[in-house]
Structure 1
Amino acid sequence: MIPAHSFAKRGIEVAQAISMKRQSDEPDAHQIPPFAALIFLLTCVAFFILLAAISYTYGHLITTLCMVESSSSNAYVPIGSVEPADDAPPAYTEDGAPKPNDTEVNLVRTQPITASLRATVMHLTARAGFWSRFRGLSVYIVWNFARSFVVGMLSAASSNPFSMIFAAIVAEVALANIHMTWIHVIISEPSTKRWYQRIPTPFFKTWKKIVPAVSIWAVTSQVVTILPMLVAGNFGVMRRMHDPNYEPGMKEAYATAGQLFFAMFLTIALFILLQIPATVAMVRVAASMLPEEDETIVPFDRTFGGLTTPEIIGGQGKIGIVEAWRSFNGECRRRLLRTVVKVAAIVMATWILFTTVVMIEAHLLFGPAFGEMMKSMHGIANRGS
Structure 2
Amino acid sequence: MAFGVVRLAVRTAIRTVSDFDGVVAGLPTPLQKRVEDYTQRDATGDEEKLKEALQSLFQPIPIAIFSLTLLAFIVISVCMQYAIQQLTWNLTVVEADLDSENSSISLSTSPPPPPYDHKSAGIIEKDVLDGEDSLENDSLLSNSSSAAERAIPAGYDARTDLVTKNIRSTLKHLRQIGGVKMWMRGFLAFVAWAFFTVVLELVIYCIIGGLTINGSEHSALFFVADLFAGLIASVMTSRIHCAWTHETLRDTSRLENVKWFSLKYVSKEDSKLLILPTMRVELAAAFTFGFPLVATNLVFRPLLEAANNGAGAGNAALACIAVLSSFAVGILATVFVLMPALIARTRLEASLLPEEDDTLVPLDRTFSGKMADVREEQLTRKQFVGRFLSLKGAWATFDKKTLRRSVWLSVKYHFISTVVGMMMIVFVCLEVGLMVAIWGQKS
Residue 184 (structure 1) shift: 0.9
1:174 alignment partner, one of 225, 236, 249: 236
1:163-219 alpha-carbon deviations (Å, 9 max, x no partner): 344322321111011111111110121266556551111x2x222211111111123
2:79 alignment partner, one of 53, 59, 70: 53
Task: Quote the Cα distance in structure 2 between the aligned partners of 1:129 and 1:169.
Answer: 37
SS in 1 for 2:349: helix
- CA, structure 1 residues 312+176, in 2 after alignment: closer, same or farther (shift >3 Å)? closer
Alignment match, 1:275: 338
Alignment match, 1:218: 282
SS in 2 for 1:156: helix
SS in 1 for 2:284: helix
1:285 aligns with 2:344: no
State how 1:304-383 maps to structure 2 within 5 Å.
Answer: 304-309=367-372, 320-321=387-388, 322=392, 325-365=395-435
1:6-30 alpha-carbon deviations (Å, 9 max, x no partner): 9xxx9xxxxxxxxxxxxxxx99663
Residue 223 (structure 1) shift: 4.5
Task: Quote the Cα distance in structure 2 between the aligned partners of 1:354 and 1:141.
Answer: 24
Alignment match, 1:98: none
CA contact (8 A) 1:113 1:120 kept: yes
Task: Quote the Cα distance in structure 1 between the aligned partners of 2:111 and 2:204.
Answer: 62
1:207 aligns with 2:244: no
Residue 128 (structure 1) shift: 3.1
Task: Quote the Cα distance in structure 2 between the aligned partners of 1:42 and 1:227.
Answer: 38
- CA, structure 1 residues 39+301, in 2 after alignment: closer, same or farther (shift >3 Å)? same
Residue 351 (structure 1) shift: 1.6
Residue 76 (structure 1) shift: 2.4
1:121 aligns with 2:145: no
CA contact (8 A) 2:97 2:367 kept: no
**Which structure 1 residue ranges, 5 or more long, are not aligned?**
11-25, 82-105, 237-262, 370-385
What is the number of residues matched between the two proteins? Answer: 295
SS in 1 for 2:108: strand
Identity %: 22
- CA, structure 1 residues 38+77, in 2 after alignment: closer, same or farther (shift >3 Å)? closer
CA contact (8 A) 1:140 1:182 kept: yes
CA contact (8 A) 2:341 2:394 kept: no
Task: Quote the Cα distance in structure 1 between the aligned partners of 2:65 and 2:276.
Answer: 47
| Paired residue type of 1:61 | L
Residue 334 (structure 1) shift: 2.0
- CA, structure 1 residues 69+362, in 2 after alignment: closer, same or farther (shift >3 Å)? same
1:198 aligns with 2:242: no
Residue 354 (structure 1) shift: 1.9
CA contact (8 A) 1:67 1:283 kept: yes
| Paired residue type of 2:284 | T
Residue 149 (structure 1) shift: 1.6
Task: Quote the Cα distance in structure 1 between the aligned partners of 2:63 and 2:296.
Answer: 28
Residue 311 (structure 1) shift: 8.4
Task: Quote the Cα distance in structure 1 between the aligned partners of 2:292 and 2:63.
Answer: 30
Task: Quote the Cα distance in structure 2 between the aligned partners of 1:228 and 1:44.
Answer: 31
- CA, structure 1 residues 233+331, in 2 after alignment: closer, same or farther (shift >3 Å)? same
- CA, structure 1 residues 349+264, in 2 after alignment: closer, same or farther (shift >3 Å)? farther
Q: RMSD between aligned alpha carbons?
A: 4.2
TM-score normalised by the chain length of structure 2: 0.56
Task: Quote the Cα distance in structure 1 between the aligned partners of 2:110 and 2:387.
Answer: 38
Alignment match, 1:14: none
Farther off after superposition, 26-35 or 108-117: 26-35
Task: Quote the Cα distance in structure 1 between the aligned partners of 2:373 and 2:288.
Answer: 35
Residue 230 (structure 1) shift: 7.7
State how 1:79-98 maps to structure 2 within 5 Å.
Answer: none
- CA, structure 1 residues 136+229, in 2 after alignment: closer, same or farther (shift >3 Å)? farther
- CA, structure 1 residues 294+315, in 2 after alignment: closer, same or farther (shift >3 Å)? farther
CA contact (8 A) 2:239 2:265 kept: yes
- CA, structure 1 residues 330+309, in 2 after alignment: closer, same or farther (shift >3 Å)? closer
Alignment match, 1:184: 246
- CA, structure 1 residues 224+57, in 2 after alignment: closer, same or farther (shift >3 Å)? farther
Task: Quote the Cα distance in structure 2 between the aligned partners of 1:179 and 1:133.
Answer: 18
Task: Quote the Cα distance in structure 2 between the aligned partners of 1:339 and 1:282.
Answer: 18
| Paired residue type of 2:345 | M
2:63 alignment partner, one of 31, 34, 37: 37
1:15-68 alpha-carbon deviations (Å, 9 max, x no partner): xxxxxxxxxxx9966324223333333322221221111110001110111110
Residue 155 (structure 1) shift: 2.5
CA contact (8 A) 1:177 1:206 kept: no
**Which structure 2 residue ranges, 5 or more long, are not aligned?**
11-42, 100-105, 114-154, 214-221, 302-325
Residue 329 (structure 1) shift: 1.4
Task: Quote the Cα distance in structure 2 between the aligned partners of 1:289 and 1:305.
Answer: 15
CA contact (8 A) 2:240 2:265 kept: yes
| Paired residue type of 2:363 | F
1:92-134 alpha-carbon deviations (Å, 9 max, x no partner): xxxxxxxxxxxxxx99434111112111111112223321111
1:224-262 alpha-carbon deviations (Å, 9 max, x no partner): 4566678899999xxxxxxxxxxxxxxxxxxxxxxxxxx
SS in 1 for 2:353: coil
CA contact (8 A) 1:307 1:323 kept: no
Task: Quote the Cα distance in structure 2 between the aligned partners of 1:358 and 1:265.
Answer: 32
Task: Quote the Cα distance in structure 2 between the aligned partners of 1:226 and 1:354.
Answer: 29
CA contact (8 A) 1:285 1:324 kept: no
Alignment match, 1:76: 108
Task: Quote the Cα distance in structure 1 between the aligned partners of 2:169 and 2:66.
Answer: 36
Task: Quote the Cα distance in structure 2 between the aligned partners of 1:280 and 1:320.
Answer: 14
